[in-house]
Structure 1
Amino acid sequence: SMGSLLLTAGQKGCRYSLPNSRIMIHQPSGGFSGQATDIEIHAKEILSLKKRLNNMYVKHTGKAISVIQKSMERDNFMSASEAKSFGLVDKIIETRSEIADIKKTKK
């Protein structure tokens, strides 16, 4: 979802997940109604958005565009470890002490 894009586009090395997190990626969706011309306008916009989002995921995960397109064809739910392997997150925080360590290194 858009939350996964915000997570993935974060600063490399600072994209964290908790072990029980679920992260979902998918293509844009929407419902349109109205005249055919209006629906066509919306369809063009959503296809443009899909292309931009795919390119952002390519940039931040290092995956090929074909991998991103296939992965986002339908709702794709990932565990924290799957998201890390996919390149959406950098580290899975397992303990509270890891959070304290992160805070110390940021000072």
Structure 2
Amino acid sequence: PEKDIYMYINSPGGIITSGMSIYDTMQFIKSDISTMCIGQACSMGSFLLMAGKKNKRFCLPNSSIMIHQPLGGYQGQASDIEIHAKEILKIKNKLNQLISKHTGQSIEKINLVETNYSYISDQLIGSFS
């Protein structure tokens, strides 16, 4: 059997495509990925925290975990903005489906939590683990 890999997360978040490359690697590896929040896991950092193996996701007592909708800003012609708006909604749906897959939470609950730009307490992270 493969040994667990421990991923310590202290992240304010970042670019979605960069985070997804880490996520894809986590899914590709045969070993279980145990994730631990030390400090903060915000935005894409919280997504990666939740992508750890079920029952192997942890956070230190004073950690901050924040989930929100994808952010974006675009300029240009109306048609260009429409294209980008459709893409960001597609990304939002994909991320929410993956969060649901890894946490067992409904898409509706995830939408409600992220719409409110929510900080999830260490007591609540259990419901997302």
**Interval of TM-score (by shorter of Structure 1 and Structure 2):** 0.7 to 0.9
Q: Which runs of 5+ in 2 are unaligned?
A: 1-42
Normalised by the length of structure 1, the TM-score is 0.76
Q: Aligned runs of 1:1-107 on 2, under 5 Å?
A: 1-84=43-126, 86-88=127-129
What amino acid maps onto 2:107 in structure 1?
A: I
Give the root-mean-square deviation of aligned CA atoms. 1.1
Paired with 1:82 and 1:21, the residues of 2 have a C-alpha distance of: 12
Normalised by the length of structure 2, the TM-score is 0.64
Paired with 1:55 and 1:2, the residues of 2 have a C-alpha distance of: 14
Quick check: which one's helix share is greater? 1
What amino acid maps onto 1:45 in structure 2?
A: E
Paired with 1:33 and 1:16, the residues of 2 have a C-alpha distance of: 40
Count of paired positions: 87
**What corresponds to 2:12 in structure 1?**
none
Per-residue CA deviations over 1:66-100 (Å, capped at 9, x if unaligned) read: 1111111121001211212x324xxxxxxxxxxxx
Paired with 2:44 and 2:61, the residues of 1 have a C-alpha distance of: 20
Paired with 1:4 and 1:72, the residues of 2 have a C-alpha distance of: 11
The answer to which of 40-49 and 57-66 deviates more is 57-66
Paired with 1:45 and 1:74, the residues of 2 have a C-alpha distance of: 21
Quick check: which one's strand share is greater? 2
Give runs of ≥4 in structure 1 deviating > 2 Å: none
SS in structure 2 at match of 1:72:
helix
